[in-house]
Amino acid sequence: MLTVIAFIVALGLLIAVHEYGHYRVAVACDVKVLRFSIGFGKVLFRWKPRKPRPGQDTEFVIGAFPLGGYVKMLDEREGVVAPAERHRAFNTQPLKSRAAIVAAGPLANLGLAVLLYAAVNWIGVEEPQPVLGSPVAGSIAAEAGLRGGERVASAALEGESPEPIRSFEELRWLLTRAALDGRDLRLQLARDAGSRGGELVLPLSRMDSRDADAQMLRKVGIVAPWSPPVLGEIMAGGAAERAGLRKGDLVLQVGEQPVGDAQQLRDWIRSQVQGGRALGATWEIEREGRRLQVAVTPDVVNDADRPPVGRISAYVGAPPAMVMVRHGPVDGLWNGVVRTWEVSALTLRMMGRMVIGEASVKNLSGPLTIADYAGRSASLGLTQYLLFLALISVSLGVLNLLPLPVLDGGHLMYYLWEAVTGRSVSDAWMERLQRGGVAVLLVMMSIALFNDVARLFG
């Protein structure tokens, strides 16, 4: 139920903001708005304001099918317009006014993302400290010399100035940007007790652009913050329960290999499969001050897209050390602007790479995945839900600015043609382009829905 409610609230808010952008600029340009609708199909609710805006008689509607909305304006192409109101029809407006009305929807979504990111910055969020877990074996981080336990004080993308790193999430964001841009990342390590300091470069420029997928951070090697190798909840019937492991056990050694942290233990468990069969080992654990030895054989989990991996059906790792990240009014707002810009740029780059085949179309997500993430983020608290809303708002704004004929960006391309040539796109070409745009959107929606089903039920 939480997933459904969170999804409906998210969808309703993002669509309402988008359509309100169109509506508000249309009113400012003195275009008559006939209907403001959230959703399509059968009308569930309709009303008119008791005190309408001067010259407006807009009907507000909520439709039964929530995946979209529209603002219907007076337009000679869609019906008869009285001569006295012709100056208020959309199609009779100057080019700059029509372009502003069309662009206002996506820009409203980007503006909402700025405010949502800023709100999270002002509220503050508990995030893991920037202490690195053990790198994935054979990864870029491991080959660069990271061992786990290092604290990152600051980091800099190639060609940019260093910026302080206050949390692991800030570091994760920089890693993502560096990997997608193909740029090296320079880390300044703090000299904490028990860990070395100094500078270290992650050569992410050597990553193949096709590595930009859900497993990207595993290829980089920095997956999670440092946490002790302590076992949490033990699931009934799993390998951990069969071996006699208990919640709170601290794993000291697996076979002859000392265990440094939870990430190292998780990687070991996943790798204990050979020829489709699980490999057992003796674990040395600490339980209530006593050292014990336990024989553990993971279960084998098969995935159609990946090699089989081991699993013990237990939560591995205690919660990492946390830090409260909070910004002041001005810094919080500015960081919201910067984050919105960066997410927008990364979204466009990923879309471009998918078009030219440098990134997998498996990165496309549809309504099922969005609904799933809405429920998960809502269950984690207000700030996580606000971050989810900001990300989806950016995606909606960027998507609608793409130059596809059925989207706002497509209409802006028509207006650009009109500005350059002095004449509008002909009706015949408009119809051809609209059909092509619908076909492209249907293909994208089909791929996204297939990916949703594969992720959630595969």
Residues taking part in catalysis: 19
Instruction: For 96, list phi and psi in degrees, rounded to 5.
Output: -65, -35
What are phi and psi for residue 52, nearest 5 degrees?
Answer: -70, 160
Q: Which of 248, 352, 267, 378 is nearest to 312 (CA)?
A: 267
Whole-number Å distance between alpha carbons of 165 and 160: 14
Long-range contacts of 326-332 (CB under 8 A, 24+ apart): 326/121, 326/122, 326/123, 326/124, 326/125, 327/121, 327/122, 329/122, 331/121, 332/118, 332/121, 332/122
Angle at 376 between CA 371 and CA 380, to 5 degrees: 145
| Pairing label, strands 322-325, 250-254 | unpaired
Tokens (6 digits) for 48 = 């008119």
Q: What contacts 58, CB < 8 A, 6 or more positions away?
A: 23, 33, 34, 35, 36, 48, 49, 52
Burial of 220 (0-12, 13-18, 19+ CB in 10 A): buried
Q: What is the distance between the alpha carbons of residues 31 and 23, in angstroms, rounded to a whole number?
A: 9
* DSSP assignment string, 76-105: TTTS---GGGGGGSGGGS-HHHHHHHHHHH
The number of residues making up the chain comes to: 458
CA–CA dist 257, 143 (Å, integer): 19
Contacts of 385 (CB under 8 A, 6+ apart): 6, 374, 377, 378
Neighbours of 80 (CB within 10 A): 5
Quote the DSSP letter at residue 68: E
Beta strand 306-311 pairing with 33-47: unpaired
Secondary structure of residue 106 in the 3-state scheme: helix
Alpha-carbon distance values, 54 to 19, 20, 31 (Å): 20, 17, 11
